[in-house]
Amino acid sequence: MSTSGGGARAAAGAAGGFSAELRAAAAATWEAQHTHPFVRGIGDGTLPLDRFRHFVRQDYVYLVDYGRLLALGCARAPELATMRRFAELTQAILVTEMDLHRAFALEWGVAPAELEAEPPTATTRAYTDFLLRTATLGDFADLVAALLPCMWGYAEVGARLAAAQPPPAAASAPDAATPAPDAAAPNPYARWIATYADPEFQALAAWCRELMDRIGSAADVPTRARLHDVFAHSSRHELAFWDASWRLEPPAI
């Protein structure tokens, strides 16, 4: 690690806690997510529907294992208040979020049976294997560093895309392979954007960042370095996940 890199990390940590330090160190990967054609296509409504359907199906597969990750967080949390919060998050993912996901999927032409039968792509499998392996072999701090890029990343994407939207208009699901790039037409993905820009979801992401800040403030230098690696690795998986749906990656064999 270079001296200048260490200085940047220290400055980021002082400005916004350990989570800000992690985010600053992985800034190139995060900005690549925001500028990826898949994310930009959601933002301006021009993303081809076949790519979004691919994403919806794979995201459902991912959420099943993300629920397992949160359940492990509940089991490994060091105190009752954090256990309770992870239990609430697990419930929110496995019940509320997945029910909402099924309802949204229907709007975009993906039946619940398709979601349940969807096999993972190699990218999805690599990501969920990394999350569960990290949570199982590492400690609670590793688990939090691994899950944070997903929760925080979606909150950041949702907030940025929402801020860039034109004045609200009634949104509807697209009925063609590619939504027409008509400035007067509503963004067909407006409800998806609103889900992750919602204050309740933003608050969940903020709680996860605060938890990471508390963990980082108590960690020694080797632990902080390890958590940087975990966070960076998970962030790269997030970027790869967007890209896999852009490429219409087929299921793994």
- Tell me phi and psi for residue 251, to 5 degrees: -60, 150
Question: Could you say which of 21, 97, 156, 238 is catalytic?
Answer: 238
Q: Which residues pair with 109 in a beta bridge?
A: none
In this structure, what DSSP letter does residue 250 have? P
Q: Quote the longest CA-to-CA distance of the chain.
A: 54
Question: Could you say which of 21, 97, 150, 156 is catalytic?
Answer: 150
The Cα–Cα gap between 39 and 47 comes to: 8
150 catalytic? Reply is: yes
The Cα–Cα gap between 73 and 232 comes to: 20
Q: Which two tokens stand for residue 120?
A: 């993972």
CB contact set of 219 (below 8 Å; sequence gap of 6+): 18, 141, 227
Cβ-based neighbour number of residue 66 at 10 Å: 23
CA 110 to mean position of chain CA atoms: 21
Q: Which residues pair with 251 in a beta bridge?
A: 121
Cβ-based neighbour number of residue 109 at 10 Å: 15
The Cα–Cα gap between 109 and 98 comes to: 16
Positions marked catalytic: 150, 238
